[in-house]
Structure 1
Amino acid sequence: MPHDHAHPHIDPDSGDRRVSIAIWANGILTVAQIVGGILSGSLALIADALHNFSDMASLVIAFAARKIARRPADASMTFGYGRIEIVAALINYTTLILIGFYLIYEGGMRMIDPPQVQGWTVVILGGIALVIDTLTAMLTYSMMKGSVNIRALFLHNLSDAAASVAVVVGGTLIILYDMRWVDPAITIGIALYILYLAFTEIGGPARTLMLGSPPDIDNEAVVRAMREVDGVADLHHVHLWQMQEHEVALDCHVVLTAQGWDESEGIKSAIKDRLRQDFGITHSSLEFEHEDRAHDDADLYGHHNADDKGKPHGHGNADSA
């Protein structure tokens, strides 16, 4: 089945402006919440401030990554700079995890001896934070579907908005019922939510950086489709990975029949057409081997072959597109 890799297009300059606005908004909010948290004695407010600070740092990283990712390929980075956004997303999710564990520790300490908290300060600053978090989430929502980097930011902002709601509710309970334990309890709840989001999403960037197979493509179906091309006897040493977030690549050894060897150019075109049309794979490198001189007992995936030590790699040719 064909895979549609099209995504809503946001003009790069417009996207940069959105991220810049979000950076300034989160920076101002972070300072206000830290000051308010110290003055009011609210750990939940400081927790929300730390979360917002991580958002600001994430936005700065994402902004830089968007700029770098547009650079063309060169001698140093022959695949281009697009993967910098994957790296940025991994950094952002990692900071979320560290912040989450820290907040659980601090919240646990305060559950033992809840301090006095000025509820009105918490409610007012929590309300302001909710407005800014919602604005930031709206700025990044339309951009997240085409970038794991921006998706990480959107989830940061979404979790911030949820945390701000919890902070407002906690401040209200403190005002009405002097329930001081609510503040550290909400802090722990925010932390658990942060960890849930981070651990749920971090696998994608990690998989890409580990050169894992694209999760939305069935490897077996790709192999089966290539084997079905007339003139193909077998495949081995298959590698399927994501060069960038929306660019899938494949390279492999294709064993051709004796008749197919004489028609290698046509077979190459047929394989590449099928890969492009059925799976959205636009970059493929194929090394052809004659079935009489193919690797013996070669692995389907990877490149290990217990019997090919010192043995020449078959007479073939490699083509890519």
Structure 2
Amino acid sequence: MAEHNHEELAGNRFFWVTILNVVITIAEFVGGFLSGSLSLISDAFHNLGDSFSIVFSYIASRVSKRRQNARNTFGYKRAEIITAFLNSIVLGVVCLILMIEAAKRISQPEPINGNLMLTIAVIGLVANLLSAYLLNAGSKSNLNMKATYLHILSDALSSIAIIIGGILIDLFNWTLVDPVVTILVAAYIIYEAIPIVRQTFRILMQGAPNIDYEAIKHDLLQLDGVFSVHHVHAWLIDENNIIFSAHVNMHDMKISQVQPIYLEITKILKNKYHICHVTIQAETTRGEDEDIIYDRGNDIP
């Protein structure tokens, strides 16, 4: 019941954040064209992308809750990772396009209505801060939510920069501020998106988590009956769930005697190393001299 209420609350927050972004997008497109501000128009495109990303993020979060089945034996948690990866890539591409357009504006400046630009930017800032507040809680432990939250937070920063630009244009007629602000904000957004792209790409490529394999081997060798550990694999389903498999050399014994050792191994890996799924292959002498990480040719042909 608690999980259902949490999902319902998350759904409500996604809904209101989407509505806010649509309102901001329309306001900034209209205000940008009327004022001649490239930074407002660029932020409107940014917000339009955010609206789509929020919807996709919500769909992905719902899909990720589906239970594993014969088609997806590890479940659907990767749906959020894929969405976070694509959202961050799209955000980076949009920012590069805006930086190119801003560079053109620097060489060919255009007149800008600073008052209108400032008014629309203030409205956008208020709406973005409210959206960021709604998504803040889920962004700390979920890459999908973090990517969406980053979109919203970058919009808030864009609005602040546009406000400053609007003030300078209104007071001093410094129209050059508009494309400069666009470039600075776009560069910052790309800088913030790169770590998410790297982390999600690593997960999608079955990258290993940051765990101490030698410490794991040392701990397992303390168990009675275990004398070697080799051929270890570890990978991430998402940013929170680690899968682990290993070949463990044990003294020759009955399967009924092996089972308690399995339970001890699983307990150590789950409690100390936060591994959620453990697969152990018991062996006697096969591979006992191999390294803990297999590196002798093709591993999984």
Question: Do the structures match in fold with TM over 0.5?
Answer: yes
Q: Does 1:288 align with 2:266?
A: no
Q: 1:307 to 1:164 in 2, by over 3 A?
A: closer
Q: Match of 1:75?
A: 70
Q: Match of 1:106?
A: 101
Q: Match of 2:152?
A: 157
What percentage of aligned pairs have identical amino acids?
34
CA contact (8 A) 2:251 2:284 kept: yes
Written as runs of structure 1 = structure 2, the 5 A alignment for 1:249-264 is 249-258=243-252, 263-264=257-258
Q: Match of 1:34?
A: 29
Q: Match of 1:242?
A: 236
Q: Match of 2:223?
A: 229
Give the secondary structure class of the aligned counterpart of 1:11: helix
User: Deviation of residue 203 (structure 1)?
Assistant: 1.7
Deviations 1:229-255 (A, max 9, x none): 222221221111122332211111111
Task: From 141, 145, 148, give the equivalent of 2:140.
Answer: 145
| Stretch deviating more after TM superposition (88-97 or 197-206) | 197-206
Give the secondary structure class of the aligned counterpart of 2:29: helix
- The amino acid across from 2:267 in the alignment is D
Q: Match of 1:278?
A: 272
User: Deviation of residue 30 (structure 1)?
Assistant: 0.8
Q: Does 1:63 align with 2:63?
A: no
- The amino acid across from 2:23 in the alignment is I
CA distance in 2, matches of 1:279, 1:33: 48
Q: Match of 2:292?
A: 300
CA contact (8 A) 1:248 1:282 kept: yes
CA contact (8 A) 2:230 2:288 kept: no
Give the secondary structure class of the aligned counterpart of 1:75: coil
Give the secondary structure class of the aligned counterpart of 1:286: strand
Q: Tell me the TM-score normalized by structure 2.
A: 0.92
User: Deviation of residue 146 (structure 1)?
Assistant: 2.8
Give the secondary structure class of the aligned counterpart of 2:136: helix
Q: 1:271 to 1:296 in 2, by over 3 A?
A: closer
CA distance in 2, matches of 1:256, 1:284: 17
Q: Match of 1:316?
A: none
Q: Does 1:47 align with 2:42?
A: yes
User: Deviation of residue 10 (structure 1)?
Assistant: 7.0
> Cα RMSD over matched residues?
2.2
Listed as ranges, the gaps of 5+ residues in structure 2 are: none
Listed as ranges, the gaps of 5+ residues in structure 1 are: 1-7, 309-321
CA contact (8 A) 2:232 2:245 kept: yes
Q: 1:212 to 1:9 in 2, by over 3 A?
A: farther
User: Deviation of residue 136 (structure 1)?
Assistant: 0.5
User: Deviation of residue 168 (structure 1)?
Assistant: 0.7
Q: Match of 1:218?
A: 212
Deviations 1:157-210 (A, max 9, x none): 111111100001101111110101000000001111111111132222112111
- The amino acid across from 2:127 in the alignment is I
Give the secondary structure class of the aligned counterpart of 2:242: strand
Deviations 1:259-309 (A, max 9, x none): 798842222122111112211223100001112xx037544224x54599x
- The amino acid across from 2:287 in the alignment is H
User: Deviation of residue 155 (structure 1)?
Assistant: 1.2
User: Deviation of residue 9 (structure 1)?
Assistant: 10
User: Deviation of residue 14 (structure 1)?
Assistant: 0.7
Q: Going by fraction, where is helix more abundant, 1 or 2?
A: 2
* Number of equivalent positions: 297
CA distance in 2, matches of 1:10, 1:301: 43
Give the secondary structure class of the aligned counterpart of 1:229: coil
Q: 1:36 to 1:307 in 2, by over 3 A?
A: closer
CA distance in 2, matches of 1:305, 1:269: 30
